[in-house]
Structure 1
Amino acid sequence: MDYVSSDAPAAAPRGDLLLPYGARGVKVVVVGGFGVGKTTMVGAVSEIPPLTTEETMTQAGVGIDHNPGVAAKNTTTVAMDFGRISINEQLILYLFGTPGQERFWFLWNGIFEGALGAVVLVDTRRIEVCFDIITRLEDRRVPFVVAVNAFPDAPAHPIPALRAALALNDSVPIVSCDARDRSSSRDTLLSLMGYLRTLAAAQ
């Protein structure tokens, strides 16, 4: 998704880049396959100018990258995206978007270090690209929510069908999301925070 949010946040003043006294910073990772909207989500919701590492795709990737359904996309994240959003005065989320192409997955080890939870972005036109990603999160025991990104031509599926297709536990939240929209992206992050609180209470 290579378009700008219709609700883009204003750049934060320089003095607001520091963690306020008494606030807690939490690391959250945004994951998903190539072209599902990770960079778009981080950019849309961040209250500071986001850091991106997008590079133009070249012929060098032909035969290496397998990107069905997103042939028109000509850039890719080669390291990570980074943004920040203050949920309230006590809680600030630091967002790290992962590269979607499998050849960059070796970077995940560092990106996931210290992460409290993750958002898995899903494009229902290419739902199969999430299988390995969800397995990796489960193997790492990283709690996550699934956010179905609202692509205009993507088929809509009932939540039970999506849960079955992704082989998800009944407790894992599945939410709808428009990664271009700041409010929608923020609601997705709040769903993750609510899920993490539920898990903590259960323990």
Structure 2
Amino acid sequence: MQVTSLSLEAFKEMDYWAVEKYKLSIELMMENAGLQLARLVAKKATQSSVVTIGVGNGNNGGGGLVAARRLAAWGFKVYLDVVVPITKDLPKTQLERALLFGAKEGIPETTDIWVDAYLGFSQRLPLSDAFAKSIGLANASSAFRISLDIPIGISKNGELSGFEADQVMTLAAPKTILEQLPSGIEVFVADLGIPKAVYRHFNVEMPDFSKNQLIAL
């Protein structure tokens, strides 16, 4: 029977299969994720909004950096909370691009929209003190909070003890872990460009991205 959501383990396999069989590069999927995230942020923002995007040294952080570059290109004030050194090649390149486009490093005095692209589905609990500090600052702020893929600090049973997201934009397919989030949190699924054949292979329903690449669940 076809399923409507994936475990994180199943999504990792789906992601890997798309890369290996269809040559859908991590960089291309990162670009797609970042563009959809930027679009979601822009829906909530005004031209005077200050946006802070928190990033780590992985692919989730890379997606956040693509969003930062896109938002900066559109004229928004974008700041980057770079919690750990960005040393991996692809996120490092995305950081350089974002800065060239006008994003700035550091946490501003006030933030209107705070984006959690700190860690993706490979995150491990407990979080380091550096990430815990950033989460504390974000949660204590008056900012509207958006998480990329899954909120940082979410437990395996879906309990949210970390970043207190108002919205979550998950990638490619709904994740089972997000079904346990409080009902007030809006969840969206974004198109990564993965073909329908991959969804069929993993027996999961493909969202109808043909008319909208960012779908509210």
Normalised-by-shorter TM-score class? 0.3 to 0.5
Q: Greater strand percent: which structure? A: 1
TM-score (norm: length of structure 2) = 0.39
Highest RCO, 1 vs 2 (Cα 8 Å, sep ≥ 6): 1
